[in-house]
Amino acid sequence: MAATLYIETQGTGPDLVLLHGWGLHGGVWDTLLPRLIPHFRVSRVDLPGHGQSRSTPMTAELRDVAQQVLASVPANATWLGWSLGGLIALRAALDAPEKIRALVLASTTPKFVTGPDWPMAMLPEQLQEFATGLQGDYRETLLRFLSLQVQGDTAARASLRQLREALFSRGEPDTASLAAGLELLRVSDLRHELKTIAMPALVIAGGYDRLTPPAAGEALARCIFGARYTRIDKSAHAPFLSHAHEFAASLTAFMEGLDAGRHEMRGAVS
């Protein structure tokens, strides 16, 4: 599938691809970027329909979106996916493991809505409220979603300000793509495929996250053979903003371990 995604690349070193969450764009990583570019060549992707990739529509097929990103980023990179970006990273790792070196999965989950055997997620009704809101005042809907992301965080006010400043800084998102992104979150369930992933992985969860609770992160790490798990206790859904130093330290240690060959293939949830 042809892809024309907007990507900003900075820094030198091992390739690191950053995938943002729903409704935002690659600029959301601005706070974290200065901690990364001295060590890595960082490619910040604007996902389809978002930011400066808004002319490339997002479809409601997760595999298609993953293929768009795979066609646009360097091969053999580590992929850092946050929230929806993490779901896309998981799909790409399942479909093209030879093209991805490792995964860092931040505040994400293989299944975003609750089910009889999956209580640690959003209620379907909650997600539907956002889908319905897009049909009216989509700006207000996005702002409400941002507020939910920081609830409980010890740095909630500062994090919310950063998210709001980033939201429309690259123009208006495509509302049809926003709806497609919510549909991806509603229908995707990768839990039963995760055991086939055989690459190094780090799962980072926020202790106060109400969208992807830490229990979901623990379950995700258990499903990926050899995955590492870390929880940033006082953060919510955007730990790379509210606790950038701690987040970057975990990421950098993981990346350095890749270069040193220190990642043993064993369960490592801690």
Provide φ and ψ at 260, rounded to 5°: -90, -5
What whole-number distance in Å separates Cα of residue 205 and Cα of residue 246? 12
192 tagged catalytic: no
Provide φ and ψ at 43, rounded to 5°: -110, 115
Active-site choice (25, 237, 243, 263): 237
What whole-number distance in Å separates Cα of residue 213 and Cα of residue 77? 27
237 tagged catalytic: yes
Active-site choice (43, 53, 72, 83): 83
The HSE-up count of residue 42 (CA atoms within 13 Å, CB side) is 23
Q: Give me the residues paired with residue 202 across strands.
A: 104, 228
What whole-number distance in Å separates Cα of residue 181 and Cα of residue 72? 19
What whole-number distance in Å separates Cα of residue 51 and Cα of residue 174? 9
Active site residues: 83, 209, 237
